[in-house]
Amino acid sequence: MDEAPCNGIPRVASLDDLVERDKDHDCAGFGPHHICVRVVAVADLPSRFGQFRIVAFWNNRDGKEHVALVHGDVIGALDLPVRLHSECLTGDALGSLRCDCRDQLEVSMRKLGAMERAAILYMRQEGRGIGLVNKVRAYALQDRGLDTVDANLALGFRDDERDYAVAAHMLASLNVGSIQLMTNNPNKIGQLSQLGVKVSGRIPHVMPATEYNRAYLETKATRSGHQMKPEGRSHLPEQDDPVILEG
Ligand SMILES: [Zn+2]
Ligand SMILES: [Zn+2]
Q: For 169-220, what is each residue's pLDDT tens digit?
A: 999 999 999 999 999 888 889 999 999 999 999 999 887 776 666 666 666 6
- CA of residue 86 to ligand 1 center, whole Å: 21
Ligand nearest to the CA of 35: 1
Q: What is the mean pLDDT of the chain?
A: 86
CATH top-level class for 15-125+162-233?
A: alpha beta
> What's the confidence (pLDDT) of residue 2?
40
Give the distance (Å) from ligand 1 centre to CA of residue 16.
18
Ranges for all domains in the chain classified under CATH 3.40.50.10990: 15-125+162-233
pLDDT of residue 16: 94
Helix axes 148-155 and 132-143, enclosed angle (nearest 10): 130
Report the pLDDT averaged over residues 138-167.
80
Ligand nearest to the CA of 85: 2
Q: Which helix (H) or strand (E) holds 83?
A: strand 80-86
Ligand with smallest separation from the Cα of 27: 1
Backbone angles phi, psi at 57, to 5 degrees: -120, 145
The ligand placed nearest to the CA atom of residue 136 is: 2
Alpha-carbon span 52 to 64, nearest angstrom: 21
38 CA → ligand 1 middle, Å: 7
Ligand 2 center to residue 93 CA distance, Å?
Answer: 10
> Residues 45-60: what's their mean pLDDT?
97
> Model-level pTM?
0.87
Give the distance (Å) from ligand 2 centre to CA of residue 80: 26
Q: What phi and psi values does residue 149 have, to the nearest 5 degrees?
A: -65, -50
- Residue 245 forms beta bridges with which residues? 207
**Phi–psi pair at 80, nearest 5 degrees:** -65, 125
Residue 154: partners with Cβ closer than 8 Å, 6 or more residues away: 141, 146
Flag the least confident range among 121-130, 132-141, 209-218: 209-218
Indicate the pairing of strand 244-246 with strand 206-208: parallel
CA 247–ligand 2 middle distance (angstroms): 23
CA distance 160 to 128: 5
Per-residue pLDDT averaged across 22-34, rounded? 94
Mean pLDDT calculated for residue range 118-131: 89
More confident site: 150 or 12: 12
Task: List, by residue number, the catalytic residues.
Answer: 160, 162
- How many angstroms does the Cα of residue 162 sit away from the middle of ligand 1? 19
pLDDT at 84 over 60: yes
**What pLDDT is recorded for position 159?**
57
